Amino acid sequence: MNRQTSPRYVILLLGGVAGLVIGVVAGSPALAVLAAPAVLLATISALVHTWPDVELDLQAPGRAVEGDLIDLVVTVESLVGVPWLHLELELPPDLEPIDGIQRAVVAVPPGRQVVVKFPVELKQWGVSIPGRLLATARDPLGMFVSSTVHTARPAIRVHPRDGNRRSVVAPARLRPRVGDHRSRRHGEGSDFAEVRPYRPGDPARSVNWRVSARRREPWVTVRHPDQSGDLVFVLDTFCDLGTEGNRLVQRAVRAAMGLAESNLDAHDRVGLLDVGRHIRWFRPRLGRLHQARLFDALLETQVEPGLRAPRVEQLPLHDLDAGTMIVMLTGLADDNMARLPGELRKRGSEVVVLEVVADDHMPTVNNRIEVAAARIWRLQRARRRRNLISHGVTVVPWSADQPLDLPVAAMARREVVTR
């Protein structure tokens, strides 16, 4: 709490004292009479004034969706009444005030709470933290000023707003667990496979009585069981391109969140590996609690460039169950990171690369040198793509103007061909 007298009080007191002194010395009673009220007012104000103990509390919703309008709620309380309290809230670029409202002036009755709301719009997904809250209290005459800064800033986890939940990645190898993926094998399920003659051991409930009556021998209906699989999404955060709000890693995070949510809803076990300068690893699991952990990790994703990308031996993927599908989301912008999918494929894992196409993130070229540099960069990415395909890695491009459903559908078609 910073406490000080205002310039108004200093001018009033010094001016009154100077008037009294000059009036006494000069023998001018009129001047002394004019200056006496100012000294009296300053003296009484100092005697009756009590410094307020303002308590501030800033609250915000813990989770929201990109583009939502929310209220940052400030609760003010003071045992001593504050007739004039000025509140000013500092906001980061990803929180935009509605109608430019970042300040408020309120009166706080003694011992009572006052609630002030600052409406803001969430402009960008991620973890948004409101800035400092500055409160300045003044007495009715503006003689004394006390200010305090509230530094407890709640974190708002802003989820992307898009329609990626419909996209579900289908692993090639499924587990004997109930899920939403149709297995190629025959068993208990809802999808029709074929009708064949009865064999010893077939359950009686699978007998197709209509076909059996027509053929005068028992026939059974065979179905495809609905099963689930295991997936690990590998996020390339080693380097980034593009402008703020439309960067490679931001698009990759959006896709990872949508696909992870869809596959978790399909009863798949989903894991996450964030590969950058530091490695973050979440083993494949099920459940809403695991989904919340994955989302929190994705929202906190940061690009931390390093000198060299980690080798495949440094990744915690050696103890994965056989048949776990690895989906890597990368822009193929770094040569070392582009080698990881091929090395993982050599170890027997099913690897699919969702290439976040970076052509839309390239700056505008203005001369022949920049045109040549952009062409060389595209050729390098094409070479990396060909190397991955030669190692048996499925590479599916995803442009900025495409919905995520299209590359996921292409991924599924490619899987059917390469199984």
**Distance in angstroms between the alpha carbons of the first and the last residue of the chain:** 69
Residue 96, domain CATH: 2.60.40.10
Burial class (CB in 10 A: 0-12, 13-18, 19+), 129: middle
Q: Are residues 413 and 319 in the same domain?
A: yes
Domain match, 267 and 394 both: yes
**How far is it, in rounded angstroms, from Cα 167 to Cα 24?**
90
| Domain presence at residue 32 | no
> Structural domain of residue 381, as residue ranges?
164-174+228-418
How many structural domains is the chain composed of? 3
**Which residues, in sequence order, are CB contacts of 41 under 8 Å at separation 6+?**
12, 16, 141
Same domain as 257, residue 148: no
Other CB atoms within a 10 A radius of the CB of residue 171 amount to: 24
Would you state the structure tokens that stand for residue 151, as one six-digit string?
A: 């530094």
Do the beta carbons of residue 45 and residue 141 sit within 8 Å? Answer: yes
Asked, for residue 34, whether it belongs to a domain, the answer is no
Claim to verify: residue 272 and residue 288 sit in the same structural domain: yes
Name the amino acid, one letter, at 77: E
Q: State whether 146 and 213 are in the same domain.
A: no
Residue at 132: amino acid letter: R
Is 2 a domain residue? no
User: Could you tell me if 305 and 375 lie in one domain?
Assistant: yes
Residue type, 197: P
Q: Residue type at 75?
A: T
Supply the CATH number for residue 232's domain: 3.40.50
The answer to the question of residue 370 being in a domain is yes
Same domain flag for 264 and 142: no
Give the tokens for residue 250.
């931001």
Closest CA to 250 of 301, 212, 291, 211: 301
Please report whether residue 218 resides in a domain. Answer: yes
Whether residue 213 sits in one domain with residue 81 = no
How confident is the prediction along the chain (419 residues), in pLDDT tens digits per residue?
A: 677 777 777 777 777 778 777 777 777 777 777 777 877 777 777 766 777 788 888 888 888 888 889 889 999 988 888 888 889 888 888 888 888 778 888 888 888 889 999 899 888 778 888 888 898 888 877 788 888 888 777 888 888 776 555 677 777 766 656 555 555 665 566 666 677 788 887 777 778 888 888 888 888 777 766 777 888 999 888 777 665 556 778 888 888 888 888 888 888 889 999 887 778 889 988 888 988 888 888 888 876 655 566 666 677 777 777 778 889 998 887 777 788 888 888 877 788 888 888 765 555 666 777 678 778 878 888 888 888 888 888 888 888 777 888 888 877 766 544 44
Residues 286 and 343 in one domain: yes
Global pTM value: 0.69
